[in-house]
Structure 1
Amino acid sequence: MKIKRTIKIISKKIIKSFKRVLIFFLPRKIIDYLKRVEKVIILALKKFLYLTANSFRNLTWKKNSILFNGDEYTSYPFTISNKKSKQFIFNNLLPGDYELTVSHNDKYLHSKRNSFYVSLDFTTNGYSASKFLKQNLSKRESRTNLPFDYLGHGRFIDGIYKQTVLLKLQEDIKHLKVNFRSQFDRSININEVILRDVSPLSIDEKIKEKLKHLPSSVLVYGDININTIDGSSIWLTSLVNILSKFTHVILLSKDNIRTESNVLKNINLKNVTTLFPSDFRHYRPFSIEKAVEALRMLDNETPVITGLVTRGVELALEVQKDKYFCSRRYVYVTDFYLPNPEGIILKQASNTLEELLFNTDYLLYQTKEIERELKKFVINNKSIETIYLPPTVDLPNSSKKSSIEIDSVNNDVITIGYAGKIQPNWGVLELIEEVRGLISKGINIELHIASGKISNGDGSYPGFKQIVSSMIKKEAFIKFYNSLSRNAAQDLISKMDYVWCYRPASFENSTLEVSTKLIEAVAAGHKAICYPSDINKQLLGEEYPFFIQDCSKLGQLLSFNTEYSGDILMNKILQEYSFDSVANSIKGSFTVHPQYEQKVLFAGNDLKFISPFISNLKKHGVKTLIDSWDWGSHSDLGSVQKKMDWADIIFCEWGLANAVWYSNNNHSQKPLYVRIHAQEVREKARKFAKNINFNNVTKFIFVSETIRDKAIELYNWPINKTCIIPNFIEPAPFDNKSFDDEIKLGMVGIVPKTKRLDRAIDLLEQLLNQGLQASLHIKGHRPENLEFMHAPGRANELEYYYALYDRIENNPILKDNIHYYGWGNDVPLWYRNINVILSPSDNESFHYALADGVVAGALPFVWAWEGVEKIYPSDWVTSGEVDDLINRFNNHNRQKCINNRNELLARYGKEKIFSELESILFGKPSSV
C-alpha cells in the first residue's frame, strides 16, 4: 500500500507540472482544447500508473502465490499476533462467489468480534477502474485503506469455532492477497483457512429451452478429463457412441474444451447432446459435488432422462446421497481396488462398498472378475441387475487417408508401437530399457510411442515421470508423438510390426480388468505382445503366439519373426467387442416403453419425499419437469409460467408458496394436485394454505387422515376435493436380528426438539440402571452443526440439546453407551446394528424412520403421538415405560419381525402407493 500512495502522490505532481509546462509553451487555442480533453489524459495516465503498480505487485506476489485451480483450498495450521500476520496469495481466481472460512479452538476469539480480522488486496489481468471488491467488506483499514472484516464470533461445530466471510468477485483476479492480523497482544492459533468456490450453477434459458425438446435420453457423466486421451476418456466416448445407437445421449463433460486433441472428437455427434461446465456458468473443471449438482439441474430441465450412467466410486456415492436418481442409477466402477501380487487391495472400506452396491440399480461390469468381486459386497441378497459392458472397438475407416508418416522405410528395422498413457506398471519403461539392450546387441528396432500423459501413477515409483521423459528425449531409437487423436494413434499403430500391450506379471496377475489397448490391437489384426495372464488367455486363447512371460523374452520373440494371420481371432474379438455387438447386448436394459403421454410438472421446495416417485416416472418414459421453489417464494416467476404452459398436469409437493401461486394462476384449469404433509397445518405455514384457491385445485392429497381433518377444520376445503395417499416405503432387505443379548436402541433424526431425544436418553438410562446391556445409536445431523439452529429464534432449543449433552457427559454410564452417526444415505445399512427402532416424538405426520426400521427387521417402540394409531398397528404404541420395552424385547421373535414388515409393505409399499398416485394423476393404474 506504500507503493500505491507513493504512485498517487507522484502522479499528482506529474500532472501539476505537466499543466504548468503546457500553459507556458502552447498557444491559447491548443490550451483550451487540452482543457476539454484533460479528463481523458488524466484517465490514461492513471491507467498507466495503475498497470505499472499492478505489474510490480504481480511480480512480487507470483513467487509465493497459490494456484487456485479447484473448488477448494485448505491451509495448514498457523499462528498470528499483533506483530505477526499471515498472508495467502491466491492465483487466478475466476468470477463468482467464494467463502473464506477460518477455524480455531479459541474461546477468546469467539467471544470478541474484533479479536482478529482479514484484509484483502488484489491484482487483475487488466485495468479495473472500479476494482473488483463488490462484496460484503465495507470496513477499511486506516493504515492501508484495504477492505477488511472481523473474524471473531462465528459458529461452534464439533468442538471447533468457524467464521466465514463471503467474497463476490466480478471479474478475473490475477492475484488475491488475503492477510490475517490481530489487534491484541497475544498469540492466536488458527487450525485452518479454507477458500471455497460456492458460486451457484445456473443454466441459460436458451439451453433450458433446448433441453425441454430433447427426446427420451440417457445421461452420462464420468469424473474423466476429456482433454487427455487415455483409457478412461476413450471408455467415455465409446460408451456414448454405443448408447447413441439406440437412444439419445446427454453427455456432461467434466471440463471445458482446452486442447485441439480432445477425446470428444471421437464421438458420433448424431443422437448426442454434449454440455460443458461453461454451460452452467462454471469455468473450471467440475468437482464431484458440482458435477452432481449439474446432473440434477439437467434432470430438472429435461423431460425424459431414463437413466444416469456414472463411472467411479466417489461419484456414484455422491449421486446416491439422496434418492433423486433412484431406480435410474447405472454404476460402472473399476477404481475400488489396487492390483497387488498378494491379492487385491480395496481402496474403500467394506461398508462403503456395501453402501455403494445397496444403492445401485444397475451394475455395469467390465469383466466377470470384477462382477464376482463386487458381488461379495451385496448385502442381504439384494436384487441388483448386472450388465456386461466390456471394452469396445471401433476401427478407423480404412478408406481414410493416413495422417501419420513414418520416417523409417528400412525393412530391416523392426517397429514396435505403443499408444496410451505412461505410468508405472504399464510396461513402457521396461520396453525402453529392453529395446536399448537389444539394440546394443545389433538388433535394429524403432519404438514409436504416442502419449498425451506421462505420470507417476500412484506414487509408488518416485521420479518415474522424469526418468521416462528424459529417456524419450535422449534415445534416438524412440519416435515420440504427443497427444495424437484416437484415430491418428490407431493409424500409427497400424503401420507397426508389433504393438506393445505388455504389462508386468505382478500387475497382470492381480488386475481384474482387461486391456482396451490389447483388444483394439487384436481386433485390428496386429501382433500384440502381452503377458499370458488368465484374463488374457481367456481373451486370446492358450496358444496365442505373442505372449511373453517377461521383457527379457522380447528378443527371442522378435527373432522368431512369426508369420501370423489374425483373421480368425480378429473376427472373434470383433463379434464380442464391436460397438454394434455391445449395443445390441445392453439395449434391453435401457429401453423404455412409455405408457402415458401427459406431461407432468412437479413444483416444490423440498422433493425428498416424492423424488423416488418422480424418478420412477422418468425411468418409464413419462415426460416430467421440476420447478424448484424456495419455501416462501420463487426468484423467477417468468420461468414458472413457461413450465406451467408446458405441463398437462401440475403436482405441488407441499401446500406452501408454490401451491398458492399455481392455484391462483391456473386459469386454464389444468389438473392441479397439492400434496399436504404436516407443516401446512402448523402455525408458521398456515399463511400459505389460507391463500390457496381451492376452486382451481383438482385434488388435495394428504399423507394421513389426521392432517386432512386438521386442514379441513382450518381452511374449509371441500372434503370431496381431498383424498388420502400415505407416504411410501422402500422394500429394503430384511435383516435377521438377534434379540438375545444387547438392546440396541435406534433413533434417526433428533431435530427439532419435538423429536424428544430426552425420552430416548431416559429410556436408555433406566435400562442401564436395571443392569441390562443396552445402547442408544443416533443417526443424522447434530443440531449444533446445522446453521439454521444458530438463528436467534432457536437459542432456547439449542440450549435444550446442550443440556442433554452435559447430562450425557457427566454420566459415565450414558457416555459410554450413546453413539452418534453422521447423516448419509446408508441408513438401511445402519439398521443392521439396531434391534429396536424408537419413535419418541411429540408429533409426526408419518415418521419414515420408524417404518424403515421395522421393514429392516427392528422392533418398533412408539410413544403415543397424535394420529399414530391411524398409521401404524395399535399394538406398536407403548406407554414409553422401560418395563414395557423389556417385556416386548424378551417376547419378540423373527416371525413377529416378518409379520410387522409384511403388514407395513401391504399398507405402504412403494408399488402400491406409486400405483395409487398414478391412478390419481393419469386416471388409471399401471405397472410403472
Structure 2
Amino acid sequence: MRQRALVYGDVDLNMIDGSAIWAQGMVQALSRAGCEVTLVLKAPVRTGRLVDPLRALPGVTVRSPHAEGLWDGVMAARHAAAILARIDAEEQRSPRGDDPPRPPGHGFDLVVVRGRRIAGKLAMGPLAGRLWTYLTDVPQSAAEFTASAKGELRRIADASRVLLCQTEELRGFLEGAVPAAAGKSVLFPPVVVLPDGLEPRAAGAPDGRALRLVYTGKFAPRWNTYEMTSLPRLLAMRGVDAELHVVGDKIHDDPADPGFASRMRTALETGEGVVWHGGHPRAEAMRLTAASDVGLSWRDPALDASLELSTKVLECGTLGVPVVLNRTPMHERLLGADYPLFAATEDDVLDALTLIGKNPDVFTLAADRCRTAATEYTLDAAADRIRTYLSQTFPEPSQAVLSVKSRPLRVGVAGHDLKFFTRLLDYLRSRPDMEIRVDHWAALKAHDEKRSEDLVDWADVIICEWCGPNALWYAEHKRPDQRLLVRLHRFELYAAWPKQLKIDAVDRVICVSPHYNSLTRETTGWPAEKVVTVPNWVDDAQLDRRKLPGAEHHLGMIGIAPSRKRLDLALDVLEELRREDSRFTLFVKSKLPWDYWWIWQKDEERAHYEKVFRRIRRSRLLSGGVVFDSYGRDVASWLRRIGFVLSTSDDESFHLAPAEGMASGAIPALLPWPGAETIYDARWIHETPSAMAASIAATVSEGRWETDRTLARSQVTTTYGLDEVCRQWTDLLTT
C-alpha cells in the first residue's frame, strides 16, 4: 500500500526563495519515492509558477484553503494546524480504491511540515506521532537556546516520527541541544531539480564578452544584495567588463534599516551593469542562471555560523556555474579548502572575479568543484533517501503473523526501565500487523496491578524487559494460551529473581550474548531450549555518519563508571601511542563517577578514580591528551570524531560501545574480557594494553584505517544491525 503524505510549509509559494524551493523539491521527492502526496498551500495562489508543475505530477493533490473557502486572510500557525487536522480527518473517512478505512486519527501516514511555529502547534494536536518535521528556523548557537526554545523543540521532537535535517552540522547541533532528537534525526539535504529541456552551462571560461554574474532569490541586507549591485562598476575600474543579472521580486523590509527597500529597488532599477529580470518561474530563473558565468552567494559574515546549506549554491553547481561564497567549514567540506572563489569582503569578491575573468584555468577548476559537489543533491538521490526512511518507518507486515491471526498480533511490553528497548518498541509499534501496549512499572517493585491484569486479558504475547519482579508477576498470572518472553540482563543474573521465576510458564528467556546464555543456564539450570540469544541492537543507519578530519588519531570511550570499566588501562594505551605521536587523543563520553551516588559512596571506587585523575594531571604524556565530553544521547554525532572505540573492561555482558563505534565507521579495540570473543571478531581483541596500542599505531601508520573500519562496519551491520535484530524479535514473537 502506498503511503499517503501530507505536506505543509510555512512558506509562500508565490515567491522564489529557498523555502519555496524546498516545498517544491519535497513534493517531487515524495512523489518519486512512491507516495500519494497532498500539498496544502499557506497563501492564496497569485502566480502558478511554482505550484502548476506540482499539480501535473502523478499522485499529487494541491489544496488551497483560501480557494476552498476553508480560510480567508493571513493563515497563522494555529489556523494552519486546525486546517491540516481537518484535512487529515477527511482523509481518514475517505479510503481510496481498495484501501480499508483508516484507524481513528490516522488519515495520512506521514505529515511533512516545515517551520518551527507550525510544528509546535501540530505537536499538541491529533497529528502528533506522524510528523516528519523539517527544522531550519532554530536557534543556531548555544547562547540563543533559551529554556522556552528548548522546551518547544523538545515537544516537537517528542511528537515527530522523523526529524529531517538539512545538514550534518544541524543534525549534530540539534541532537546535542535537544536529547529527544537523538535517534529520530535523519539527513534530508536540499533537492536540485533541473527543468525539462534545460542544459547546464557549456564548459569553459567566457571568451570575448562581458563576465555575466547572476543572483536569484530574495533581497535582504545580510544577503549583501545591495552591495552586489556595485560589482559591475567596481570590476570595470579593474579592467573587467561584467554585468549582473538579478532574478527575484521579494525585497525585504528591514525594521533595523527602514530605507533598505527603497535603496535596494533603486539600485536594481538604475545600477550600472545591473539587469533586473524581476520575478520568474523557477525554470526561467534557472535558465537565466545557466546562461551566466558566475553565481553570487556572498553573505554577511554574521551568517557564517549558519547550519543550513544554500540551495542556490547547489543549483549553480548542477548548472555548471561556479559560485562566489563565504569560506566556512561547511563550504570547505563541500568544495575543498583550496576552492578559489571564497570571499569574506567586497575586495575579496572583486579579487576572485578579477582572477577568473583573466584566468580560464581557475574558472574551470571552480566550475568543476561546484558541479561535482552538486551531484549528491539530485532528485533521484532525495527520492532514494525518502524510500529508505519510509522502509524504516513502515515495515512490511509478516505473513507469519497474518496467517496466525485475522487481526494484528497483540503484544504487551512490561518493565520499569525500557531504555534498552526503545528502538525495538518503535519498530514493533510501526508494524501494521502488531498492536502494542506498554505496562510501565513505576519502579522495579512498584506497579499498577490493575493495568497488568488488563494486559494479561488483552495480549497474545507478553515481553518482560528485565527478569525482575515484573517477570515473576506475569509468570504467575499469564493465561495458559498466552506466550511469555523474558529478557535477562547482566544485572539480574546474580540476583534472587531468576531462582524464583516459574520457568515452566516462560516460553523463552532472551540473553544478549552466547557467553551470558551459557552463564544463565549454568546458574539457573533452566532447559537449554528455553534460553535463546538475541543480541543487542545497533542503530547502524543513525550511526553511519561522515567522519571528521583527524578521526584516525582519536580514541573513544563511552562510559567509565564503575571502576571495572578500567579507564586506567585505556590511559596505558594512550601513553604508549603518545610516546610516538602526540596527535593521539582519548575522548571520554560519560557521566563522572561522583555523579553516581552508589559508586561514589564506596571507598575503593573513590580511591581508584582519585588515582586515575591524579595520573592524568601529572603525566607528561597524558597532558592535553584526554578530553571529557558530557554524557548525553548525542552519541552518533560524537562518534564522528572517533576513529577507534576502546573496551578495556574487566567484564561485560555485551558492551554496546564498540559495536556502536563499528557502525559509525570506527575500529573496535577490546581487551579479552570473558565472552568478548563470542561477540566480536578476534582480530579486534588484544591481549594487553601494549598490544592494543601497537595494533592501533600500525593500523594508522600503514594506511589500513579505512580498510579496517569498512570491514568493522560490515560485520556489525550484518550481525547486530537494527534491521537484523528486529527480524529476530519478529521471529520470536510469531513462532
**Offset, 1:634:** 2.1
**Aligned CA distance change for structure 1 residues 644 and 350 (closer, same or farther; 3 Å):** closer
Q: Aligned with 1:776: secondary structure?
A: strand
**Offset, 1:358:** 8.2
1:237 to 2:82 alignment: yes
Q: Aligned with 1:652: secondary structure?
A: strand
**Partner of residue 728, structure 1:** 537
Q: Work out the CA distance in 2 between the residues paired with 1:751 and 1:248.
A: 54
Q: Work out the CA distance in 2 between the residues paired with 1:505 and 1:664.
A: 79
**Partner of residue 746, structure 1:** 556
Contact 1:863–1:878 (CA under 8 A) maintained in structure 2: yes
After superposition, what is the alpha-carbon deviation per residue over 1:144-177, rounded to whole angstroms, capped at 9, x for unaligned? xxxxxxxxxxxxxxxxxxxxxxxxxxxxxxxxxx
Q: Aligned with 1:607: secondary structure?
A: coil
Q: Work out the CA distance in 2 between the residues paired with 1:801 and 1:593.
A: 50
**Offset, 1:839:** 0.4
1:915 to 2:724 alignment: no
Of the three residues 130, 133, 139, the one matched with 1:307 is 130
Q: Aligned with 1:331: secondary structure?
A: strand
After superposition, what is the alpha-carbon deviation per residue over 1:49-100, rounded to whole angstroms, capped at 9, x for unaligned? xxxxxxxxxxxxxxxxxxxxxxxxxxxxxxxxxxxxxxxxxxxxxxxxxxxx
**Offset, 1:919:** 0.9
Q: Aligned with 1:234: secondary structure?
A: helix
Contact 1:306–1:618 (CA under 8 A) maintained in structure 2: no
Q: Work out the CA distance in 2 between the residues paired with 1:865 and 1:675.
A: 22
Contact 1:750–1:757 (CA under 8 A) maintained in structure 2: yes
Q: Aligned with 1:244: secondary structure?
A: helix
Of the three residues 598, 601, 616, the one matched with 2:409 is 598
Q: Which one has the largest radius of gyration? A: 1
Contact 1:631–1:657 (CA under 8 A) maintained in structure 2: no
**Offset, 1:783:** 2.5
1:711 to 2:495 alignment: no
Question: Equivalent residues in 2 for 1:403-422 (5 A)?
Answer: none
By percentage of residues, which structure has more strand? 1
**Offset, 1:707:** 1.2
Which amino acid is 2:559 matched to?
G
Q: Work out the CA distance in 2 between the residues paired with 1:743 and 1:363.
A: 26
Which amino acid is 2:531 matched to?
T
Contact 1:739–1:890 (CA under 8 A) maintained in structure 2: no
Q: Work out the CA distance in 1 between the residues paired with 2:694 and 2:498.
A: 44
Q: Which segment is superposed worse, 754-763 or 309-318? A: 309-318
Contact 2:467–2:497 (CA under 8 A) maintained in structure 1: yes
Q: Aligned with 2:130: secondary structure?
A: strand
**Aligned CA distance change for structure 1 residues 600 and 535 (closer, same or farther; 3 Å):** farther
Which amino acid is 1:329 matched to?
R
Of the three residues 600, 611, 617, the one matched with 1:809 is 617
Contact 2:551–2:641 (CA under 8 A) maintained in structure 1: no
After superposition, what is the alpha-carbon deviation per residue over 1:199-254, rounded to whole angstroms, capped at 9, x for unaligned? xxxxxxxxxxxxxxxxxxxxxxxxxxxxxx962222322332333333499xxxxx
Unpaired runs of 5+ in structure 2? 1-73, 95-102, 107-118, 139-149, 194-219, 222-252, 266-276, 289-389, 402-407
Q: Work out the CA distance in 2 between the residues paired with 1:506 and 1:352.
A: 37
Q: Work out the CA distance in 1 between the residues paired with 2:395 and 2:87.
A: 17
Q: Aligned with 1:245: secondary structure?
A: helix
After superposition, what is the alpha-carbon deviation per residue over 1:354-385, rounded to whole angstroms, capped at 9, x for unaligned? 879985467899x9699xxxxxxxxxxxxxxx
Q: Which segment is superposed worse, 862-871 or 813-822? A: 813-822
Q: Work out the CA distance in 2 between the residues paired with 1:538 and 1:247.
A: 39
Which amino acid is 2:163 matched to?
V
Of the three residues 809, 818, 828, the one matched with 2:636 is 828
Q: Work out the CA distance in 2 between the residues paired with 1:890 and 1:505.
A: 65
Contact 2:171–2:187 (CA under 8 A) maintained in structure 1: no
**Aligned CA distance change for structure 1 residues 736 and 775 (closer, same or farther; 3 Å):** same
Question: Equivalent residues in 2 for 1:770-849 (5 A)?
Answer: 770=580, 772-786=582-596, 788-789=598-599, 792=601, 794-811=602-619, 813-849=621-657
**Offset, 1:872:** 0.9
Contact 1:739–1:889 (CA under 8 A) maintained in structure 2: no
Q: Work out the CA distance in 1 between the residues paired with 2:563 and 2:87.
A: 53
Q: TM-score, normalised by structure 1?
A: 0.42
Residue identity (%): 25
Q: Work out the CA distance in 2 between the residues paired with 1:663 and 1:248.
A: 42
1:619 to 2:451 alignment: no
**Partner of residue 610, structure 1:** 421
Contact 2:172–2:634 (CA under 8 A) maintained in structure 1: no
Question: Equivalent residues in 2 for 1:315-334 (5 A)?
Answer: 318=154, 329-331=161-163
Contact 1:330–1:363 (CA under 8 A) maintained in structure 2: no
Q: Work out the CA distance in 2 between the residues paired with 1:507 and 1:915.
A: 60
**Partner of residue 904, structure 1:** 716
**Offset, 1:905:** 1.9
Q: Aligned with 1:710: secondary structure?
A: helix
Q: Work out the CA distance in 2 between the residues paired with 1:773 and 1:364.
A: 34
1:856 to 2:677 alignment: no
Of the three residues 674, 683, 687, the one matched with 1:875 is 683
Contact 1:320–1:825 (CA under 8 A) maintained in structure 2: no
Which amino acid is 1:758 matched to?
D
Contact 1:749–1:778 (CA under 8 A) maintained in structure 2: yes
Q: Work out the CA distance in 1 between the residues paired with 2:79 and 2:652.
A: 51
**Aligned CA distance change for structure 1 residues 741 and 860 (closer, same or farther; 3 Å):** closer
**Aligned CA distance change for structure 1 residues 920 and 635 (closer, same or farther; 3 Å):** closer
**Offset, 1:818:** 0.7
Which amino acid is 1:879 matched to?
E
Q: Aligned with 2:81: secondary structure?
A: helix
Q: Aligned with 1:745: secondary structure?
A: strand
Q: Work out the CA distance in 2 between the residues paired with 1:914 and 1:535.
A: 47
Contact 2:503–2:526 (CA under 8 A) maintained in structure 1: yes
Unpaired runs of 5+ in structure 1? 1-228, 250-269, 274-287, 300-304, 337-345, 371-423, 426-457, 465-502, 509-530, 543-587, 924-928
**Aligned CA distance change for structure 1 residues 534 and 647 (closer, same or farther; 3 Å):** farther
Contact 2:165–2:185 (CA under 8 A) maintained in structure 1: no
Q: Work out the CA distance in 2 between the residues paired with 1:785 and 1:535.
A: 59
Contact 2:650–2:673 (CA under 8 A) maintained in structure 1: yes
Q: Work out the CA distance in 1 between the residues paired with 2:619 and 2:451.
A: 56
Question: Equivalent residues in 2 for 1:26-105 (5 A)?
Answer: none
**Partner of residue 168, structure 1:** none
1:761 to 2:606 alignment: no
**Offset, 1:661:** 1.0
CA RMSD in angstroms, aligned pairs only: 5.0
Contact 1:600–1:648 (CA under 8 A) maintained in structure 2: yes
Q: Work out the CA distance in 2 between the residues paired with 1:905 and 1:893.
A: 18
Question: Equivalent residues in 2 for 1:245-644 (5 A)?
Answer: 245-247=90-92, 271-272=104-105, 307-309=130-132, 313=138, 318=154, 329-331=161-163, 351-352=172-173, 359-360=183-184, 594-595=397-398, 596=401, 597-621=408-432, 622-644=434-456
Which amino acid is 1:352 matched to?
F
**Offset, 1:829:** 2.3
Q: Work out the CA distance in 2 between the residues paired with 1:871 and 1:635.
A: 35
**Offset, 1:693:** 0.8
Q: Work out the CA distance in 2 between the residues paired with 1:877 and 1:689.
A: 31
**Offset, 1:887:** 3.5
Q: Aligned with 1:746: secondary structure?
A: strand
Contact 1:649–1:672 (CA under 8 A) maintained in structure 2: yes
Q: TM-score, normalised by structure 2?
A: 0.52
Which amino acid is 1:806 matched to?
R
Q: Work out the CA distance in 2 between the residues paired with 1:641 and 1:507.
A: 71
1:672 to 2:484 alignment: yes
Which amino acid is 2:161 matched to?
R
Q: Work out the CA distance in 2 between the residues paired with 1:320 and 1:857.
A: 30
